[in-house]
Protein backbone atom coordinates (compact mmCIF):
# COMPACT_ATOMS: atom_id res chain seq x y z
CA UNK A 1 0.00 0.00 0.00
CA UNK A 2 1.34 3.40 -0.99
CA UNK A 3 0.58 6.44 1.11
CA UNK A 4 -0.06 9.59 -0.91
CA UNK A 5 0.67 13.05 0.39
CA UNK A 6 -2.24 15.50 0.00
CA UNK A 7 -0.08 17.74 -2.19
CA UNK A 8 0.16 14.97 -4.79
CA UNK A 9 -3.61 14.67 -5.26
CA UNK A 10 -4.73 16.77 -8.21
CA UNK A 11 -8.27 17.50 -9.30
CA UNK A 12 -7.92 18.80 -12.83
CA UNK A 13 -11.13 19.55 -14.73
CA UNK A 14 -11.84 18.85 -18.39
CA UNK A 15 -13.31 21.04 -21.11
CA UNK A 16 -17.01 21.68 -21.55
CA UNK A 17 -18.85 20.09 -24.47
CA UNK A 18 -19.86 21.97 -27.62
CA UNK A 19 -23.50 22.93 -28.07
CA UNK A 20 -25.66 21.36 -30.74
CA UNK A 21 -26.53 23.05 -34.04
CA UNK A 22 -29.94 23.64 -35.65
CA UNK A 23 -30.46 22.06 -39.08
CA UNK A 24 -33.37 22.24 -41.53
CA UNK A 25 -34.09 19.11 -43.58
CA UNK A 26 -36.40 18.87 -46.58
CA UNK A 27 -39.06 16.16 -46.50
CA UNK A 28 -41.28 15.41 -49.51
CA UNK A 29 -44.00 14.01 -47.22
CA UNK A 30 -44.72 17.48 -45.79
CA UNK A 31 -46.60 20.08 -47.79
CA UNK A 32 -47.31 22.92 -45.32
CA UNK A 33 -45.62 24.82 -42.53
CA UNK A 34 -48.63 24.40 -40.20
CA UNK A 35 -46.40 22.72 -37.58
CA UNK A 36 -44.68 26.07 -37.00
CA UNK A 37 -47.92 27.61 -35.76
CA UNK A 38 -47.47 26.04 -32.33
CA UNK A 39 -43.71 25.68 -32.03
CA UNK A 40 -41.89 28.78 -33.24
CA UNK A 41 -38.59 28.50 -31.40
CA UNK A 42 -36.14 25.66 -31.95
CA UNK A 43 -33.15 25.11 -29.67
CA UNK A 44 -30.50 22.45 -29.87
CA UNK A 45 -29.21 20.80 -26.73
CA UNK A 46 -26.47 22.59 -24.77
CA UNK A 47 -23.16 20.92 -24.05
CA UNK A 48 -22.43 19.54 -20.60
CA UNK A 49 -19.96 21.11 -18.21
CA UNK A 50 -16.51 19.62 -17.87
CA UNK A 51 -15.93 17.44 -14.82
CA UNK A 52 -13.04 16.62 -12.54
CA UNK A 53 -10.29 14.13 -13.37
CA UNK A 54 -9.86 15.58 -16.89
CA UNK A 55 -13.29 14.36 -18.03
CA UNK A 56 -14.68 16.37 -20.92
CA UNK A 57 -18.33 17.35 -21.04
CA UNK A 58 -20.60 15.64 -23.55
CA UNK A 59 -21.49 17.64 -26.66
CA UNK A 60 -25.10 18.69 -27.24
CA UNK A 61 -27.33 16.90 -29.72
CA UNK A 62 -28.24 18.69 -32.95
CA UNK A 63 -31.85 19.75 -33.54
CA UNK A 64 -33.22 18.74 -36.96
CA UNK A 65 -36.38 20.52 -38.10
CA UNK A 66 -38.22 19.02 -41.07
CA UNK A 67 -39.70 21.39 -43.64
CA UNK A 68 -41.42 20.85 -47.01
CA UNK A 69 -39.37 20.55 -50.19
CA UNK A 70 -39.07 23.97 -51.86
CA UNK A 71 -38.71 25.95 -48.64
CA UNK A 72 -36.63 29.11 -48.99
CA UNK A 73 -34.87 30.18 -45.80
CA UNK A 74 -34.21 33.91 -45.27
CA UNK A 75 -32.73 35.86 -42.40
CA UNK A 76 -35.41 38.27 -41.20
CA UNK A 77 -32.90 40.79 -39.83
CA UNK A 78 -30.86 41.19 -43.04
CA UNK A 79 -33.30 39.91 -45.73
CA UNK A 80 -30.48 37.63 -46.90
CA UNK A 81 -31.41 34.30 -48.47
CA UNK A 82 -29.63 31.63 -46.44
CA UNK A 83 -30.62 28.70 -48.62
CA UNK A 84 -33.22 26.83 -50.65
CA UNK A 85 -34.14 23.19 -49.98
CA UNK A 86 -35.13 21.85 -53.40
CA UNK A 87 -34.70 18.07 -53.06
CA UNK A 88 -35.89 15.48 -50.56
CA UNK A 89 -33.25 14.96 -47.87
CA UNK A 90 -31.42 18.27 -48.43
CA UNK A 91 -30.02 19.68 -45.17
CA UNK A 92 -29.08 23.24 -44.30
CA UNK A 93 -27.24 24.48 -41.23
CA UNK A 94 -29.12 27.55 -39.99
CA UNK A 95 -27.53 28.11 -36.55
CA UNK A 96 -24.17 26.73 -35.42
CA UNK A 97 -23.82 25.62 -31.81
CA UNK A 98 -21.49 27.27 -29.32
CA UNK A 99 -18.00 26.14 -28.36
CA UNK A 100 -17.37 24.63 -24.93
CA UNK A 101 -15.11 26.40 -22.45
CA UNK A 102 -11.63 25.31 -21.44
CA UNK A 103 -11.20 23.49 -18.15
CA UNK A 104 -8.50 24.18 -15.63
CA UNK A 105 -6.27 21.40 -17.01
CA UNK A 106 -5.16 23.86 -19.72
CA UNK A 107 -3.76 26.19 -17.07
CA UNK A 108 -1.75 23.52 -15.30
CA UNK A 109 2.02 24.03 -15.10
CA UNK A 110 4.94 22.77 -13.06
CA UNK A 111 4.50 25.70 -10.68
CA UNK A 112 0.71 25.79 -10.53
CA UNK A 113 -0.26 22.11 -10.27
CA UNK A 114 -3.88 22.64 -9.24
CA UNK A 115 -5.13 25.79 -10.99
CA UNK A 116 -8.52 27.17 -10.02
CA UNK A 117 -9.37 28.92 -13.26
CA UNK A 118 -11.26 28.14 -16.43
CA UNK A 119 -12.60 30.03 -19.44
CA UNK A 120 -16.29 30.24 -20.28
CA UNK A 121 -17.61 28.83 -23.54
CA UNK A 122 -18.79 30.83 -26.54
CA UNK A 123 -22.48 31.30 -27.26
CA UNK A 124 -24.00 29.73 -30.36
CA UNK A 125 -25.71 31.56 -33.22
CA UNK A 126 -29.26 32.86 -32.98
CA UNK A 127 -31.31 33.66 -36.04
CA UNK A 128 -34.85 34.76 -36.76
pLDDT digits (tens, 9 = 90+) for 23-82: 889 988 888 888 788 877 888 877 777 777 777 777 788 888 888 998 888 888 888 888
Residues 6+ apart with CB under 8 A from 120: 101
| pTM (global) more than 0.75 | no
Confidence of residue 13 (pLDDT cuts 50, 70, 90): low
| Cβ neighbourhood burial of 117 (10 Å; 0-12, 13-18, 19+) | exposed
CB distance 26 to 67 below 8 Å = yes
Amino acid sequence: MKLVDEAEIEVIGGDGGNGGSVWLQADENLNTLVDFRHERSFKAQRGENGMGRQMYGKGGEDKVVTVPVGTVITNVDTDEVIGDLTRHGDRLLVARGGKGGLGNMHFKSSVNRSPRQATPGEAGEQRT
